[in-house]
Chains A and B, each alone.
Chain A
Amino acid sequence: MKRVFRRYAFALIAFLSTVLITLFNREIGMKTFIIAEDSLKQMLGVLPPVMLLLGLMDVWVPRETMMKYMGDDSGFVGIAFAILIGSLAAGPMYAAFPFTLVLLRKGVKFSNVIIFMNAWCVTKIPTLIFELTALGYEFTMVRLLMNLPGIILMGYLVERFLPRDERDKLYMDAEKIQQQSG
Chain B
Amino acid sequence: MGMTLILYGSAFVLLMVSYGKDKNKTKKAVLKAWKSFENIMPQFLGIIFIIGITLAVLRPEVISSILGESSGIFGVLLASVIGAITMMPTFVAFPTADMLLKNGAGYAQVAALVSTLTLVGVVTFALEAKHIGKKAAFLRNFIAFIFSFVVAAMIGMVLGG
Q: Which residues of A contact B (CB under 8 A)?
A: 7-8, 10-11, 13-15, 17-18, 21, 28-29, 31-36, 38-40, 42-43, 45-56, 58-60, 90, 92-95, 97-98, 100-101, 104, 110, 113-114, 117-118, 121-122, 126-127, 130-131, 133-135, 138-139, 142-143, 146-147, 150, 154, 157-158, 161-163, 166-167, 169-170, 173, 181-182
**Are A101 and B139 CB-contacts (below 8 A) given A36-B49, A118-B119, A181-B35?**
no
Contact partner, A98, options B40, B46, B52, B114, Cβ 8 Å: B40
Contact partner, B40, options A47, A117, A158, A163, Cβ 8 Å: A47
Q: Which residues of chain B are near A45, meaning CB under 8 Å?
A: 3-4, 7
Q: Which residues of chain B are near A90, meaning CB under 8 Å?
A: 3, 7
Dominant secondary structure of chain A at its interface with chain B:
helix
Nearest Cβ on chain B to A90's Cβ, whole angstroms: 6
Using a CB-CB cutoff of 8 Å, which residues 37-83 of chain B contact chain A? 37, 39-40, 42-53, 55-57
CA of A76 to CA of B41, assembled, Å:
35
Query: In the complex the two chains form, is B147's CB within 8 Å of A154's CB?
Result: yes
Q: Which residues of B contact A (CB under 8 A)?
A: 3-4, 7-8, 10-12, 14-15, 18, 25-26, 28-37, 39-40, 42-53, 55-57, 87, 89-91, 93-95, 97-98, 101, 107, 111, 114-115, 118-119, 121, 124, 127-128, 130-133, 135-136, 139-140, 143-144, 147, 150-151, 154-155, 158-159
Query: In the complex the two chains form, is A142's CB within 8 Å of B154's CB?
Result: yes
Could you pull out 15 A-B pairs where Cβ atoms are within 8 angstroms? Answer: A11-B45, A28-B53, A32-B49, A32-B56, A35-B56, A36-B51, A55-B34, A92-B87, A93-B87, A93-B124, A94-B128, A110-B136, A126-B3, A135-B97, A138-B159
